[in-house]
């Protein structure tokens, strides 16, 4: 190892400590402080040997092996920014990314992982989230991560191996789960879906939890049995790459004729639009939003019962309920 590499390792340790302090200040560790030490221990830069940043006219690639030492330092500092990092593009379209670390910390704390839990992650990404889970549980065999793209799963395996972890990385359809590894105590998705796949509940133990992005939010479900689950949304916004082949688009504000501009541009109103897509037209959604005091995400929830799933406001049996698309 050369002097430049030693300096990079020192810089990585300092940058990682700074990132942990930044996440801590956001409150993301409050629900489960054990994650503070996990993020301090797992080196994010090993999982993003290259990434892309937005520049005028497109993207700029930053990578670990750049011949210019200053460029390598920029890559390393960026790897520890509390920001999502684009890691895979195709024809200008984002296919995969490393999520914002503070959002990852909030999700991991919210799902309430306990010693000995078996965890299924939907969306392998770079492998960083799987490494955090493996380190927290102290047993790589308890963690399974799945992704449809073989290039993504192969790179995730390489990154995990470089970091000293070997959870099971599966190439397959995340909506189908990984039945050969079930039952799971926790299912956590790092990609967005339009509804809750039945396979996730079938593969989760009664009393287990499922956390998934949906309609620009994060819903945390308590699983009763293989066909029933219910829970509410976290308060935080969340924008994730969709599971391949599954989308629930957020309406374009410019298309919302008749809705006042302040609502068209409001993140919480657009969340309601995405959640009720196909069930309410924009004017109906706007009238409800104003009538109910412009509710935040935490007032909404999801219920799954048999073949049906619906979103609701305040009460799963109350007056406001909207069917979700057919479960994949």
Three-state secondary structure call for residue 274:
helix
Cα distances from 61 to residues 18, 65, 79, 86, 233, in angstroms, run 24, 11, 12, 10, 35
Cα–Cα distance between 284 and 259 in angstroms, integer?
A: 10
φ and ψ of 308, to 5 deg: -110, 150
Burial (CB count <10 Å: 0-12, 13-18, 19+), residue 190: buried
* Residue indicated by tokens 């541009």: 265
Tokens of 125: 């990404």
121: DSSP letter: E
CA atoms within 13 A on the CB side of 277: 17
* Residue indicated by tokens 């797992």: 42
List the catalytic residues. 96
């Amino acid at each position: 190892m050369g002097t430049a590499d030693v300096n990079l390792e020192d810089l990585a340790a300092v940058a990682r400590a700074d990132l942990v302090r930044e996440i801590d200040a956001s409150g993301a560790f409050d629900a489960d402080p054990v994650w503070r030490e996990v993020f301090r221990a797992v080196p994010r830069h090993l999982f993003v040997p290259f990434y892309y940043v937005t520049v005028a006219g497109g993207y700029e690639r930053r990578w670990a092996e750049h011949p210019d030492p200053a460029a390598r330092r920029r890559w390393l500092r960026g790897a520890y920014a509390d920001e999502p990092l684009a890691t895979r593009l195709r024809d200008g379209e984002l296919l995969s990314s490393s999520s914002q670390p503070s959002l990852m910390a909030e999700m991991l704390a919210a799902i309430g992982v306990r010693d000995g839990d078996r965890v299924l992650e939907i969306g392998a990404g770079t492998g960083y989230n799987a490494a955090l889970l493996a380190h927290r549980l102290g047993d790589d065999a308890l963690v399974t991560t799945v992704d449809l793209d073989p290039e993504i799963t192969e790179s995730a395996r390489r990154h995990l191996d470089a970091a000293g972890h070997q959870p099971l990385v599966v190439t397959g359809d995340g909506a189908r789960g990984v039945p050969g590894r079930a039952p799971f105590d926790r299912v956590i998705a790092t990609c967005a879906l339009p509804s809750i796949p039945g396979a996730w509940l079938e593969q989760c133990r009664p009393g287990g939890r499922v956390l998934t992005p949906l309609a620009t939010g994060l819903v945390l479900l308590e699983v009763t049995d293989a066909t029933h689950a219910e829970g509410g949304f976290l308060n935080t916004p969340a924008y994730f790459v969709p599971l391949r082949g599954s989308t629930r688009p957020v309406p374009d504000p410019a298309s919302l004729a008749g809705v006042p501009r302040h609502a068209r541009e409001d993140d919480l109103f657009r969340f309601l639009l995405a959640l009720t897509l196909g069930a309410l037209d924009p004017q109906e959604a706007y009238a409800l939003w104003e009538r109910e005091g412009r509710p935040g995400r935490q007032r909404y929830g999801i219920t799954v019962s048999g073949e049906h799933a619906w979103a609701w406001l305040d009460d799963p049996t109350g007056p406001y309920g909207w069917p979700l698309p057919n479960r994949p």
